[in-house]
Amino acid sequence: MNNRIAELERKKDSFNLNEEYESDLAELNQIRQKITMTSSRISRLELRKELINESKENLERDVADIDIAQIGKLYEQAKVLIPNLQKTFSETVHFYNTMIGKNIEFITDELPALSEELKSLGSQLQHLLKYEKILTSKIRKKGAIDELNDIITEITDFYEKKGNLEEQKKTWETSQQNLRMIEEKLAGINDEIGAKDTLIQERISQFNRFFSDISERLDGKLSILSTENREGIYRFSVSNIEGNPGTGSKKSQMASFDLAYIKFADSLDIPCLHFILQDQIENVHSNQITNLLTEIVSEVHCQYVLPVLRDKLPSDIDIDSMEVLSLSQKDRLFRI
């Protein structure tokens, strides 16, 4: 493209024209260059304005449009059960929509300046186009030949194409630079993950010593925690050597996992909650319940809480020593 422009410039310069004509022609070229620069600037600003408006429309679609009256009834019912409920649903929706509004104000803050600059540039462009027309007419009246006009037009077109290509090149280089920065950050994250992989595997191995021991003692099935690193994302799973467990075995496995984690965390001085909540213990075999409540739980520094029907507990367990709350048809929760 640069070679073609240079060739056309040489052809243009080879024309033998009078001094006044050459002066007008030079001014015409300057005007056309300004037209090209102004048009390019307008295109960039219009693109910027379009992107801002698209972002604004996307945010406006996120504004919550909910039947506040209907949901308000649910909140009033919730207040009966939870008197200290501080925020109403309408307040929550109002807060959310206010945040959306703030975001819209932020991204559209430059729209007035953009519109004003576009208006100014549009006026300048119209003035330049009008002056270009005057100069072109003036030159033609002085006997400019069609071939020279064709050359000048072609040169102008090439300069416009060159300007567009340079703008695209600049955008591409910026994108490549951003891409390199992202790749460097990803490489750093992957390096950190790789550096910690050994520690993660060691921690899993330490946890499994507690987990497999408790699970085997509880239901005779050896359960383990395993992990798989897929593209830097760790996926954890719990399994046993006998395949998919039944409902009772799953409950035993869950209890084993929670108890094992507390022992694991305490062994490494990792802060954790020292209580466990579990339900549907009725699905676990009575021997396992006895083993769990009389032996295994006592080895772990924790409080083990579970709701259960009295007649579902084994008869050999001292229920009174473990009982925290007892309810019945005649003595219900909250005396309701």
pLDDT tens column, 212-233 = 998 888 888 888 888 887 776 7
Rounded to whole angstroms, the Cα distance separating 237 from 220 reads 20
Give me the domains of the chain, ranges plus CATH numbers: 2-189 (1.10.287), 199-335 (3.40.50.300)
What is residue 186's predicted lDDT score, i.e. its pLDDT?
A: 74
Q: Which residues of the chain have pLDDT under 50?
A: none
Contact (Cβ atoms closer than 8 angstroms) between residue 158 and residue 5: yes
What is residue 126's predicted lDDT score, i.e. its pLDDT?
A: 93
Per the rule left: phi > 0, alpha: psi between -120 and 50, beta: everything else, 265 is alpha
Q: What does the DSSP 8-state code read for residue 230?
A: E
pTM reported for the whole predicted model: 0.44
What is residue 11's predicted lDDT score, i.e. its pLDDT?
A: 64
What is residue 258's predicted lDDT score, i.e. its pLDDT?
A: 92
What is residue 220's predicted lDDT score, i.e. its pLDDT?
A: 81
Rounded to whole angstroms, the Cα distance separating 276 from 278 reads 7
What is residue 308's predicted lDDT score, i.e. its pLDDT?
A: 78
Rounded to whole angstroms, the Cα distance separating 334 from 331 reads 9
What is residue 96's predicted lDDT score, i.e. its pLDDT?
A: 65
DSSP string, 167-199: HHHHHHHHHHHHHHHHHHHHHHHHHHHHHHHHH
Distance, C-alpha 305 to centroid of its chain: 38
What is residue 138's predicted lDDT score, i.e. its pLDDT?
A: 74
